[in-house]
Amino acid sequence: MRGFAVPLLLCAVVFGLTACAAPSGAGRPLAERPVSDVPATNPAMASAKVHVDLGMAYLQVGRYAVALDEARAALASDSAYSPAYHLMGLVYMFIDDRNAARDNFLRALQKAPNDPEFNNSYGWFLCVSGQEAEGLERLALAARNPYYRTPSRPYANAGLCHLRRGNDAAAEAEFQRAVELDPSNAQALYHLAAIAYRRGAYEVARNHLVQLHQQSEPTAESVWLGVRTERKLGNREAESSYAAQLRGRFTDSVEHRAMNQGNYE
């Protein structure tokens, strides 16, 4: 991921997981429901919830200004509605205003310190801000909450956090747990393949890529990894197939340029 990459907002939902192992720093599960899952108890809260839901939808399509307006409208309806501060934190994180992002994440957490969604987002923010140790603690807190419907997210984010520290072994364990909880987690599958490739386990890398491409649209990164994996395995037909995809679908990518220049490593 480059810079403030989206913290897995579009991952599939996982249900019915009440006792899973957590990323490093795990402890006893905390039984606090995400605030966003709590039904509105009054008109002001109901209005705020609608605005936050809209804001999240705008955020996912990159309309950051509109998402921020929705967060402000939510707070105008109910100044105590913590998901609005969480939404503002996400917007500011994506537009690289770190101080505003941190302030809003902390305001959300002051109101709901064990909310798994807040801790997942703030944990990733800390990881990409160079505070990996604290970020991993936050991600562990999110993952071990039995009410969190998407525990695969903090595991995958923890894997990315370990990669930032150069620890492939710890990252692989987190990505593997993410895939166990959600076999469609494309980011975890890609990084499992990349880690396997780096340690020379090319058959393992191939298997992860096959699973990834069966479930998700290929990216320039995943196709390029396919090219290099099949090249290592000596499968020229599969290598040529991946190379054709890279030429046909990702012409302007850095991966396509690397292939053209023969930079396979």
Domain ranges of the chain: 25-148, 183-265
Residues 46-60: pLDDT tens digits?
A: 999 999 999 999 999
- Tell me the DSSP string of 190-235: HHHHHHHHHTT-HHHHHHHHHHHHHHS---HHHHHHHHHHHHHHT-
Question: N- to C-terminal Cα distance for the chain?
Answer: 19
| Topology of the domain comprising 25-148 | 1.25.40
Q: What is the pLDDT of residue 31?
A: 54
Contact 197, 26 (CB under 8 A): no
Q: What is the pLDDT along the chain (265 residues), one digit of tens a residue?
A: 334 444 333 332 222 222 334 454 444 444 578 898 888 899 999 999 999 999 999 999 999 999 999 999 999 999 999 999 999 999 999 999 999 999 999 999 999 999 999 999 999 999 999 999 999 999 999 999 999 989 999 999 999 999 999 999 999 999 999 999 999 999 999 999 999 999 999 999 999 999 999 999 999 999 999 999 999 999 999 999 999 999 999 999 999 999 999 998 8
State in words which class domain 183-265 has: mainly alpha
The answer to whether 25-148 and 183-265 have equal CATH topology is yes
